[in-house]
Structure 1
């Protein structure tokens, strides 16, 4: 079940929590209402852009110039992922079946990424952001997020941890493929009916993707296009998600924060204008998104001043940084985590 659903927010309000006055203010302004027109336009424009790009690929006649189209293809793939993300949070429609259908189309069919896998992982992250042992985004993987995790690394993983801040962006080039591999591996966890649907859609994506490339260009060019497309797609998504929580508070098991502090203290907003909003899919308003995960994306910019003012009244630190500063803070945290290993060499 998605976290921070209306029933959860109602429970917070009923307790007279720090979050309750803000929730009432947001509801009074109608900022939790769906924006069907916005999403219809966004989804339609995205489909048109995909159709135009694939038309360009097909009429390229296999020249190496087609690799230039991998750049906008990666950006539009990122836009597709953002729509799937919003569907998973029930932002697009009040009907769960509609949201699931949109998530399956944009995730499994268009990207080859498992909607069920992503939704489960992402909802657990929202429930316990930056909490080791509860948030899957701070589990030990190719990267680690605490010094306790770092000192347990051995072999090549230990080398990666030593220099993970320097290797972070190069490693993101593999993220586009890693997401698909994780989605396929997770299929066995799903109930049989869901496994069949998602498995069939991901298989259809693979067949269509390979068929389109091979019908438009030689094998060597097709491999180069797919590699560049997925590398830039992974980099794009990583750049959208990386500055949101890394280097922010990491709650301990003995800390009992309410919804507002749990979400605000672990999240960071990224300053910017409309271009930043577009490129980062609204995730630059990470504090607001975590407080109101079902809020439609275009309302996040509107609610930001309300959240900032409410936090100021409570004396709760509200973190906002420019794009370069936010990456510097995230990379600085990763560099500090690996410090004990660099001293031990």
Structure 2
């Protein structure tokens, strides 16, 4: 499909919002990028990941601790993705470009590819959130139906039950299937992949080989195939489930919209910023532990409106955004608890599985 266009609005909501956020940072005298608390968190997560990995691979714990540490490793992979890689990929981790690049490269070490992520997430998802045929995040066909514009199959009637299993497979499919599909097809969904430079190809293959060695070859050599298989399955399934849930709770719940471009003009109804708010939801924003673990991605509205502002500032700017939404009559979607957001996602999946 052709790339949709957003409505042009004079004196737009977005321009007013940017003005107010800029004023806030000028008043408090803070940088919009990460601060010492974020850097400390990155060190804690990185050191914890290395410690658990080394103990699992080189010190062979008994079965109980092997399973426990594998679960923890899966959680750490997700946490590094949320807190370090995600901010780095958006250029909000640090004011230094090289440090952002270094942070985003954590994805390559963990088996993904930063080039593919940039195009899929930063370019496509952040521009055309919840637009079927463009946003690859809602394209889980034929296994799941995430929009009424997608074809419905009989199995979708049960997707609100089996989604737990499918979500758990995300990380395994991401590192072993999806990146390669994008690479060889030169497409992300229906959107063409931007041209890769030689360095992009070398990073893709170099880190894929490094990941295979670190997480498959070396562990098998050290602990044997059976022990490796147990740990690998546990940590990848945990990481996949956590990653999937956090991103799905942000956009595929009962109250979020799935706009369709006009057939004749190809235009979407709203300006870009209003589109982002209508297609996005927050959850558990008063829970500091959740915010710490998921890298502020429970403040998804703030992130989609200002992706180049580090997540450490989301609690503060959310007050400004919420107030501006009230003044403009725009619905600010938020679930006060994680379980409410999960329940809404389940209800949404059930609705998509039965709706015409």
TM-score above 0.5, yes or no: yes
Pick from 288, 304, 309: which aligns with 1:274? Answer: 288
Deviation at 1:36, TM superposition (A): 4.3
- Distance between the aligned counterparts of 1:25 and 1:148, measured in 2? 37
CA distance in 2, matches of 1:46, 1:216: 24
The residue that corresponds to 2:134 in the other structure is 134
Q: How many residues in Structure 1 have an aligned counterpart in Structure 2?
A: 321
Structure 1 unaligned segments of length 5 or more: list them.
Answer: 1-11
Mapped to 2, the partners of 1:22 and 1:259 lie a distance apart of 12
Q: Give the match for residue 179 of structure 2.
A: 183
Structure 2 stretches lacking a partner, 5+ long? 1-7, 187-195, 263-267
TM-score in terms of structure 2 length: 0.84
Q: Is the 8 A contact 1:176 1:231 kept in 2?
A: yes
Instruction: Please identify, of 250-259 and 73-82, the stretch whose mean Cα deviation from structure 2 is larger.
Output: 250-259
Q: Hey, what's the Cα distance between the residues in 2 that align with 1:292 and 1:304? A: 11
Asked whether the 8 Å contact 2:55–2:61 carries over to 1, the reply is no
Match of 1:118 in 2: 117
Aligned CA RMSD, in angstroms, stands at 2.1
> In the TM superposition, what is the alpha-carbon distance from 1:199 to its structure 2 partner?
1.2
Match of residue 262, structure 1, among 275, 279, 292: 275
> How high is the TM-score relative to the length of structure 1?
0.86
- Judge conservation of contact 1:172–1:234 (CA < 8 Å) in 2: yes
**Paired residue for 1:99?**
100
Identify the structure with the greater helix proportion: 1
Instruction: Report whether the alignment pairs 1:71 with 2:99.
Output: no
Query: Which SS does the other structure have where 1:176 is aligned?
Result: helix
Instruction: Note if 1:47 corresponds to 2:11.
Output: no
Structure 1 residues 198 and 39: CA distance shift in structure 2, 3 A:
farther
| 1:203-261 CA distance string (max 9 Å, x none) | 11110222442344232111111011100110111121121011311112133311321
Further displaced range: 161-170 or 27-36: 27-36
Q: 1:140 touches 1:149 (CA, 8 Å); kept in 2?
A: no
